[in-house]
């Protein structure tokens, strides 16, 4: 690609991004009044089918009466596998995407993301196709006084054109996109969460000293919206020092809600999850106005499968995601039951095979429901 071709490619990207913003939908699904909620389950790759199978059993048990009454439908969706995606050359094959869009909410196992090439991550595609702009990740360590809620922008930033960078001779360029509308809605979601949950501290995390235009905009909009929430103290932090602060006892306990652009949120939520016991222990909600998707925050663990240890995959992360899903569709009683069952399950699962299998763990958990 030469500079003239690069400019043309850039023109196309900018036009597409303007169209994306113009088409942002704001119609909200109201689950408190919806007569029938369809939950899609997508199992994914590697340990995905193993952990989602158990999560589906748990959901079916918790929602048994509603499934009989017809107010909840659980739809198992196949075909979101790396083999099928590669064969079709599509991050999410069309028929699978149509099935997903026929649901209201989706529980998704981890999917494999190939390095390089042009096949986009299925996560990124799904977040974009369903416009799931808020990635919400709780991390809670009560014995250390930690109760954090991360609001990661999920549809733009470094990700939206992550597979659309340009290569010129001896040079590669990627793009980061931050829009007013895209920033407003994630910041608003974070502040609304804070207000509705009695939180009084918001950390706005960027690298606005370096990413001046995009993160500069993010920070400016965050403060504009903060003015509507005078009961909430807002502090700006750069992502580098925030990664250090999360390790700093005596300081980290004061953090409550965080809001940040996509890539920083990706990185820091793994760090936070590790403090809680590992990425296998955290769930993640991807929320839009119309749809929502809930997933484990870890990957598909191909090495566990290669070693023949897949049955020892820990389902906690996807079970926590299932609890977030239940809360989102206004089934808070079922959500609470599940959260208590996870916290009090008599068995543990260890990836080295020294404890229960994923299935044994689910059996024990279901027995306590």
Least gap, CB of 198 to Mg ion (angstroms): 28
Report the 3 state secondary structure along 165-188: CEEECCEEECCCECCHHHHHHHHH
Least gap, CB of 92 to Mg ion (angstroms): 18
DSSP 330: T
**Beta carbon nearer to ligand IPM, 54 or 154:** 154
Stretches 63-71, 80-88, 113-121, 259-267: which one binds Mg ion (CB under 5 A)? Answer: 259-267
Q: Give first-to-last CA distance, the chain, whole Å.
A: 59
Stretches 88-96, 147-155, 263-271, 323-331: which one binds Mg ion (CB under 5 A)? Answer: 263-271
For 299, the enclosing helix (H) or strand (E) is: none
**From candidates 99, 266, 289, 295, binder to Mg ion by CB under 5 A:** 266
Q: Nearest 5°: phi and psi at 207?
A: -135, 55
d(CA 282, CA 254): 20
Least gap, CB of 218 to ligand IPM (angstroms): 17
Could you tell which of ligand IPM, Mg ion, none binds residue 123, using a CB distance below 5 to 8 A set by kind? ligand IPM
**Beta carbon nearer to ligand IPM, 161 or 345:** 161
**Beta carbon nearer to ligand IPM, 62 or 92:** 92
Distances (CA, A) of 162 to 113, 205, 270: 13, 21, 20
Tokens 């370096």 -> residue: 210
Interface with ligand IPM by CB under 6 A: which residues? 113, 121, 123-124, 266, 297, 299
**Beta carbon nearer to ligand IPM, 120 or 289:** 120
- SS3 state of residue 280: helix
Sign (positive or negative) of CA dihedral 148, 259, 232, 29: negative
**Beta carbon nearer to ligand IPM, 123 or 357:** 123
Residues in the site for Mg ion, rule: CB under 5 A?
Answer: 266
């Amino acid at each position: 690609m030469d500079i003239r071709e690069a400019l043309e490619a850039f023109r196309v990207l900018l036009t597409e991004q303007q169209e994306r913003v113009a088409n942002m939908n704001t119609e909200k699904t109201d689950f408190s009044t919806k007569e029938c909620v369809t939950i899609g389950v997508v199992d994914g790759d590697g340990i995905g089918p193993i952990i989602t199978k158990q999560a589906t059993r748990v959901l079916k048990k918790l929602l048994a009466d509603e499934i009989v009454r017809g107010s909840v439908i659980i739809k198992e969706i196949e075909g979101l596998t790396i083999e099928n995606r590669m064969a079709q050359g599509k991050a999410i094959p069309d028929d699978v995407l149509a099935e997903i869009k026929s649901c209201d909410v989706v529980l998704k196992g981890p999917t494999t993301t190939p390095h390089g090439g042009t096949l986009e991550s299925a996560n990124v595609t799904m977040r974009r196709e369903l416009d799931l702009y808020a990635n919400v990740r709780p991390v809670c360590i009560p014995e250390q006084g930690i109760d954090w809620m991360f609001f990661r922008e999920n549809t733009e930033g470094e990700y939206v054109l992550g597979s659309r960078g340009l290569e010129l001779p001896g040079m590669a360029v990627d793009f980061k996109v931050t829009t007013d509308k895209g920033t407003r809605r994630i910041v608003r979601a974070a502040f609304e969460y804070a207000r509705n949950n009695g939180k009084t501290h918001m950390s706005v995390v960027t690298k606005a000293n370096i990413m001046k235009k995009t993160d500069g905009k993010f920070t400016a909009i965050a403060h504009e919206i903060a003015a509507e929430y005078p009961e909430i103290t807002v502090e700006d932090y750069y992502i580098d020092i925030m990664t250090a602060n999360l390790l700093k006892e005596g300081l980290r306990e004061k953090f409550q809600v965080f809001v940040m652009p996509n890539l920083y949120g990706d990185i820091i939520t793994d760090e936070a999850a590790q403090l809680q016991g590992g990425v296998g222990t955290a769930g993640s909600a991807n929320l839009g106005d119309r749809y929502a998707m809930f997933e484990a925050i870890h990957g598909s663990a191909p090495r566990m499968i290669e070693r023949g240890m897949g049955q020892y995959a820990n389902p906690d992360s996807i079970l926590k995601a299932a609890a977030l899903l239940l809360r989102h569709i206004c089934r808070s009683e079922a959500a609470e039951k599940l959260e208590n069952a996870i916290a009090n399950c008599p068995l543990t699962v260890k990836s080295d095979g020294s404890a229960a299998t994923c299935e044994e763990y689910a059996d024990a958990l279901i027995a306590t429901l």
